[in-house]
Every structure is written in structure tokens, then in C-alpha cells.
Amino acid sequence: MTQDFDTRVIAPGSTIGIMGNGQLGRMAAFCAAELGYKVHVFGPGADSPTEQVCAKATIADYTDLDALRAFAEDVDVVTFEFENVPHDSVKLLSELVPVRPGWKCLHLSQNRLREKTFCNEHGIRTAPFEAVRSLADLEAAVAKLGRPSVLKTTELGYDGKGQVKISADTDLAQAWDEMKGAEAILEGFISFEREISVIVARGVQGDTACFCPVENVHTNHILDVTVAPAEIADSLSKKAEDIAIKLVTAMEFVGLLAVEMFVTTDGDILVNEVAPRPHNSGHWTIDACITSQFEQFIRAVCGLPLGDPAHHSKARMKNLLGDDINDWQAILTEPNAKLHLYGKAEAKPGRKMGHVTWVLPK
């Protein structure tokens, strides 16, 4: 996977273009400002979390080519807090301005089938999977992988969207109908002990730095709690970090990559999926690490030396979804709690409105 990109350092005082205008961009913009950068954000929807705190915002659809060209002319480097930007739009930007991570990395991570195939080709294990492009494909895949298994769209699904569990009594025709004709992937069930993730940064010269593995607990397919560091054996932590470094290096990635993994009941580690950007499971680093994931993100994208990712404290992070935000006053009375709210106007069920991190003794 060879990519063409320049390795220039983007000096403080420059403008970082961020595609996507949610809470990840907001927290990245804070760190960019601390390092002396301006942020120009691009995305649909006014009064977004990032727009509220950055120097400039382009409110436009990701397919608006004229807006993309004007955006590229105003920034010195482009990165992403939202990876589901149309492929053609990313290629256009890459012809006009340095894009980190490169468009090929983004293209790879946008598709579960490409992503898992890439992992396996580089000796990184995943759950067993089969491509599904028709009902006949699904029937053959279920015959091979068995039930239970999970049918997922290859693109755009997140937080449990775009997936169907294939149980003993699931009607396969109905399950396929739920994919609405989209390319899909069937993943075999595995017996796992816990879910973990590793966030790794890679600089323009190929240098890498890992945050410690953390354990993630999901509720209704949405991350609920992250415990840092994960309570696993040192040998497993080392193995997880080695996998993340191997993957980010094989991708020739520049920026921040989150690698979600399963720890199996027999002590193995399997990669579940990757995210080419800051990640929900890294929010704890703001309050418990020497360098947060967001500062590391800015450093990597701008070609600066990577910071020390070591944690000075243990931590427990919890997402605040929907009406959970109403507990803000009680949270602020807790001496070891750090509250982060995202500036979203309306609380909806399942919507990430903020998070709280409890900083714990190491």
C-alpha cells in the first residue's frame, strides 16, 4: 500500500483543515489552539460542536466540489474527525493540499471487507468473515460460518446501525432485505473475554507512539464505559500494542489510528475494526495522560515530534448519552470527576452529549 505524501512540517500559526464538525473535532481544535494553530472545519449543519470553538467554518455537503476547493485553498493540511467522506472528495483534496492520513488509508478504513482483508493479508487475525452481495451469498456464508453470526453493511454503519444478528431462527431473506441491497459482510461469532482498544499515533517520518490498551464496555452497541488501563496481562498489552503498530505501519498511516480488538477466552487477540481518527475510547487521555489523544493527533498531522502517551493516573470514562447530560451539576460536585460537554443544542436518546472521566490513583 504505497502512498504519495509530502513530509513537510506544518508550523504553528498555520491552519489545520478538519473534515467533520462533531465533538472529536471540537476537542482537537482546543489542542490545536494550545499549539498555536488555527482550525478551519468543514461539514454540514450550522452551530456544530467544532464550529463553536474554531477560527473558521465551511458549512457544506461533503460532495460540494466548489466548497472543497475553496476549503483546500484556505488550509495548510487536511485531516478528519469523521471518516465517511466520499472517496472522490478526499481524492480531490489530496490533489490540492497535504491530506493526513492519506486518502488510501481512509478508503481502506471506510469498508469493513477491505479493512479485514488487509489485516489478514498482513498476518493480523480477525474474526472469520465472508463477503455478502446477495441472498445466495448470505446463505452460503451462514452455511460456512454458522449461527450465531452477524451480518453488517460494509460501509457507514456505526453504534450498532446497519447490522443484524443471525440467530438460529433468523429468516435469511428478511435479514438480507434489511441491508437494502448494500454490500455486506458476515462475521462469525467468537468467544471473547473482553473488548479492548489501542490508539496509536504515527508521524510523517514513521515514528510511532501507543497509548496503553483500555477496556471498553458497550450498552446497546454504543460505548458506555472505558477503563484505563485494561486489566489484562502485560504480555497481552504488549501484543495488542504490537498489533496496532504493525497495522499503522503497514497502512503507511500519518495521524491517529484507533484499533478495536477482542481478547478471546483462549488468550488470543483479534482485531475488530479500526478508526482513522481520535476515538471515543481515548477521551480519558485528556485528563490522565501526559499527552492527550487530541494533542497527539495534532502533533502527528502537523509533522511535529510525537508526545509522551504515558498515563500519570488510572481513569474511568463514561459517555453521557441523551438526558444523562442533566446530571452535570451532580458530576461537578465529585472532586475526581472531569466533565466535558460538547455544546449540542438538543439531547436525543443515544446521542453523545458529553463524557465524564474519573481520574483515579495509579
Which residues sit in the known binding site for ATP? 112, 152, 157-163, 187-190, 195, 218, 272-273
The CA distance from 304 to 307, in Å, is 9
Dmax (CA) of the chain: 60
Which distant-in-sequence residues (6+ apart) come within 8 Å of 293 by Cβ? 199, 211, 256, 278, 279, 282, 283, 285, 286
The CA distance from 55 to 29, in Å, is 9
Asked if 332 and 339 count as a contact pair (C-beta separation under 8 A), the reply is: yes
Binding residues: 112, 152, 157-163, 187-190, 195, 218, 272-273
Residue 211 DSSP class: P
Angle at 30 between CA 253 and CA 46, to 5 degrees: 95
Asked if 19 and 81 count as a contact pair (C-beta separation under 8 A), the reply is: yes
In three-state secondary structure terms, 120 is: helix
Element housing 357 (H / E):
strand 352-360
Q: Which residues pair with 314 in a beta bridge?
A: 360
